[in-house]
Chain A
Amino acid sequence: GESVGLHLPTLSVQEGDNSIINCAYSNSASDYFIWYKQESGKGPQFIIDIRSNMDKRQGQRVTVLLNKTVKHLSLQIAATQPGDSAVYFCAENSGGSNYKLTFGKGTLLTVNP
């Protein structure tokens, strides 16, 4: 069977609260970042992206903040719902001719009703 995986960082919140998921990225040359949501047994699903010429971008109930000085990315989810329970991955791309993504470790978000 599968090897034992690493324990994911976890975040547990109450329904209706705001959630903040953090990610430290590794490559100072990265200029495009994505957050993915992955529910159990499914493929990652795009949530929101941001380019390095921005420090904030908002979507529906989600906001991504980028701090290039400390190479930090965060995802804020407003009014968290049980359907938001999933693993969240950040990913970075260094652009140019490199179109591959480098994924962070992931955070397990659990929303308690």
Chain B
Amino acid sequence: DAMVIQNPRYQVTQFGKPVTLSCSQTLNHNVMYWYQQKSSQAPKLLFHYYDKDFNNEADTPDNFQSRRPNTSFCFLDIRSPGLGDAAMYLCATSVGIFAAGVGNEQFFGPGTRLTVL
């Protein structure tokens, strides 16, 4: 089945130690998104790629970076994790073309739960 896969599902890192989260998709979608979600809150968009075009949200800290080496894979790098970065990180994809009859549904992966010690 076509899907969005995130690895690992659970990640523990130490304060200040760089960490990379991985996302892959078999949907061949143009757009890949990274969201941060804290308890009892809505997902917060960090950035997204439309193909190779990177789009950062204005309030995303510089501590968060992303790479998309090809259509299928996208990585979230947290350069120096702080305690406040502990959260669920969600990857999503969408077709990215808004046309008649085509919605912009986003397909989410299962998420990576990041713990910062």
Contacts and interface: CB of A to CB of B under 8 A. Distances in A.
Interface in A59-113: 89, 91, 93, 95-101, 103-106
Contacts of A32: 98, 103-104
B105 A96 contact: no
Contact of B103 (A44, A51, A106): A51
B43 interface: yes
A8 interface: yes
A100 B105 contact: no
Contact of A6 (B40, B104, B110): B40
B96 A2 contact: no
B111 A43 contact: yes
Q: DSSP majority for the A interface?
A: loop
Interface residues of A, number: 33
B82 to A, nearest CB: 11
Contacts of B33: 100
A10 B31 CA distance: 32
B104 A93 contact: yes
Nearest to A87: B40
Contact of B86 (A2, A42, A97): A2
A3 interface: yes
Contacts of A7: 40
Contacts of B19: none
Interface in B69-109: 83-84, 86-87, 90, 92, 94, 96-98, 103-109
Interface of B: 4, 6, 31, 33, 38-43, 45, 48, 50, 83-84, 86-87, 90, 92, 94, 96-98, 103-111, 113, 115-116
